[in-house]
Chain A
Amino acid sequence: MFAEKVIELLKESERNPDTIDPFKDEKIRQILEEMQTLFIMNMNDANATTENKSLWTTVQVRHSALERNKRCLLAYLYSRMEKIKTLRWEFGSVLPPDVRELLSDDEYEWFSRYSTNLASYMRSLGQDIGYSGIDLTENLRPPKALYMEVVCTTDYGKLELSDGDVVMLRRNSRHFLPAAECQTLVRQGVLKQIV
């Protein structure tokens, strides 16, 4: 069957809509190979159609299979890009190594470009009035309270707050910190909020 592999590919990635799978290099190579074969067969038959009109339908079917493969491959990449985008918002510009492994080299390249582009946009915000930019990845949730109680999950080291105080974050230590300043650490998993 034509375009069977590409459907498999899409179904697999659809099964885990919230997580990102390893990039399926091998499968994509096979799909591209199938396209190449279809294309060559089509070329041969298309040259022959001038004498034999009955081949025309075959050519048409193969062509739509080619179109379908292309469309599905693009959809696969696009949906992965969407997922990688959420990674940027969750982890910031540096990915944890276990997540990094799931991306292909090209995707990682795209991620860094996306990240740079986003960063330069955020830096440009409010530049006219002497602002040094706003970090849009902060304040993801509506603020409930100024301070929150957190427990530290790893030996993180010193954290300097904007008012100059320095807090030592040790494993299992509890702190009462300004919510705005520890949100990033909470998302990175260094701190955990106690509710």
Chain B
Amino acid sequence: MESLSNVDVSDEEEEITADIVLKTLQTAWQNECLAPEILPHNNDMVECMLGQIQHMERNINKLPKTDIRASIHKMELSRIKFIICNYLRTRLNKIEKYCISILNDERQRMETGTNYLTVGEFKYAQEYLLNMETHLKNVVLDKMPGNMKTLEMNKMAVYPNLQTHVFLKANSTISGVVLEDLVGDQDEEIDLEEGSQHILQYKPIADLVKNGKVQLV
């Protein structure tokens, strides 16, 4: 919300903040595309950017059609729009794929107020799961004999693979990231220097991605 109010303060500041908003959005998009699980939403940034787009579109429309500035700005706008659409779409794809596990986790997170999904996304996920359930029930489950009728959600659930490896870049110096040793019991501790790049398992650095200390590349 902070950035939203910043933008409205004065016209001079607007350009700098709009730039930061775009950068944040780009990072969020990049992280979302590369992370195996769903990340906390960035709805404030998206809405702020949408506001900016609207504002810029109005300005462009004032320019004559043949003005070169108009086409350059339009091109830039369509790029930003693509980023927003792709970001939201990536999230939707994850929500659909990991629907059951995301909804279960989200219900716990909602109690602590640290929800990852926006209200709209949560509604979408619930509706999606409900539709899937009704469909499966109508087509086959209801026609099955006695004790086979129930849909076992746990057996159907797809979980994101947190053990996968990701490329990442440290935004600040972080010391003491614990890498679990799955086979033996020799846990390893490493330090990430600012600006350094690594290939690591996603799970130990998941929290660092969420609070922006590292960035996936």
Contacts and interface: CB of A to CB of B under 8 A. Distances in A.
What is the size category of the interface that chain A forms with chain B?
35 or more
Nearest to A36: B145
B148 A126 contact: no
Given A139-B85, A146-B78, A114 B128 contact: yes
A71 B50 CA distance: 44
B50 A77 contact: no
A32 B47 contact: no
Nearest to A145: B75
Given A81-B135, A104-B139, A117 B75 contact: no
A73 B149 CA distance: 12
Interface string A125-143: 1101101001010110011
Nearest to A38: B145
Contacts of A90: none
- Secondary structure type dominating chain A contacts: helix
Given A77-B136, A104-B139, A136-B85, A121 B144 contact: no
Contacts of B156: 74, 78
A85 interface: yes
Nearest to A66: B148
Interface in B117-133: 120-121, 123-124, 127-128, 131-132
Contacts of A36: 145
Contacts of B161: none
Given A106-B139, A121-B120, A81 B132 contact: yes
A125 to B, nearest CB: 7
B85 A138 contact: yes
Nearest to B158: A78
A107 B86 CA distance: 27
A59 to B, nearest CB: 13
B85 A106 contact: no
Interface in B127-173: 127-128, 131-132, 134-136, 138-140, 143-146, 148, 151, 155-156
Interface stretch (B88-96, B103-111, B179-187): B88-96
A28 B140 CA distance: 8
A159 interface: no
For the residues of B in contact with A, the DSSP-based class is: helix
Contacts of B145: 35-36, 38-40, 66
Contacts of B85: 134, 136, 138-139
B6 interface: no
B18 interface: no
A135 to B, nearest CB: 8
B79 A77 contact: no
A184 B54 CA distance: 22
Nearest to A71: B155
Contacts of A107: 135, 139
A126 to B, nearest CB: 5
Contacts of B127: 113, 117
B47 A129 contact: yes
Interface of A: 28, 32, 35-36, 38-40, 66-67, 70-71, 73-74, 77-78, 81, 85, 104, 106-107, 109-110, 113-114, 117-118, 121, 124-126, 128-129, 131, 134, 136, 138-139, 142-143, 145-146, 163, 179-180
Given A110-B132, A134-B81, 9 more contacts: A28-B140, A39-B145, A77-B139, A85-B96, A125-B46, A129-B50, A131-B50, A143-B79, A145-B75
27 contacts: A35-B144, A35-B145, A35-B148, A40-B145, A66-B145, A67-B148, A73-B140, A74-B156, A77-B136, A77-B139, A77-B140, A110-B135, A113-B131, A114-B128, A117-B131, A121-B120, A126-B46, A129-B50, A134-B50, A134-B84, A136-B88, A138-B85, A139-B85, A139-B86, A143-B79, A146-B78, A180-B78
